């Protein structure tokens, strides 16, 4: 199994495509059946499974069609590991990144 920590984006894409294909096979779905469920073209499914390349929309449609949407829930959630982090997590989230002060050369 690929270690996501050190993988290049192209490697991540291929690994995710491989996992999508494995889930499709576990569910005994053909590519045309998955394409129909996802509301995308057969060539899109085939291309994604073969190359790992596609749009975010395509990936999300495949995930939903395969019943994997719940797997996205923990994605990018910060898990507090201390009381301070727990307190910080309960504060309102800033809507913008703070401006950086421009310094004179």
CATH number, domain with residue 85: 1.10.260.40
Cα 93 from Cα 28, distance rounded (Å): 43
**pLDDT over threshold 80, residue 35:** yes
102 is a domain residue: no
- Residues whose CB is less than 8 angstroms from the CB of residue 3 and which lie 6 or more positions away in sequence, other chains included: none
35 is a domain residue: yes
Angle formed at CA 65 by CA 69 and CA 36, multiple of 5 degrees? 165
Q: What is the DSSP letter of 101?
A: P
- Residues whose CB is less than 8 angstroms from the CB of residue 85 and which lie 6 or more positions away in sequence, other chains included: 78
pLDDT at residue 98, rounded to an integer = 75
Structural domain of 29: 4-90
Tally of domains within the chain:
1
pLDDT at residue 10, rounded to an integer = 92
Name the residue with higher pLDDT: 104 or 55: 55
| Tens-place pLDDT, residues 77-94 | 777 778 887 787 778 877
39 is a domain residue: yes
80 is a domain residue: yes
70 is a domain residue: yes
104 is a domain residue: no
């Amino acid at each position: 199994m690929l270690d996501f920590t050190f993988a290049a984006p192209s490697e991540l894409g291929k690994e995710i495509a491989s996992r999508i294909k494995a889930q499709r096979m576990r569910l005994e779905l053909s590519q045309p059946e998955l394409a129909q469920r996802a509301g995308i073209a057969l060539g899109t499914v085939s291309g994604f499974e073969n190359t790992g390349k596609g749009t975010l929309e395509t990936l999300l449609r495949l995930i939903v069609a395969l019943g994997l949407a719940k797997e996205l829930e923990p994605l990018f959630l910060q898990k507090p590991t201390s009381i301070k982090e727990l307190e910080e997590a309960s504060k309102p989230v800033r809507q913008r990144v703070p401006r950086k002060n421009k310094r004179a050369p």
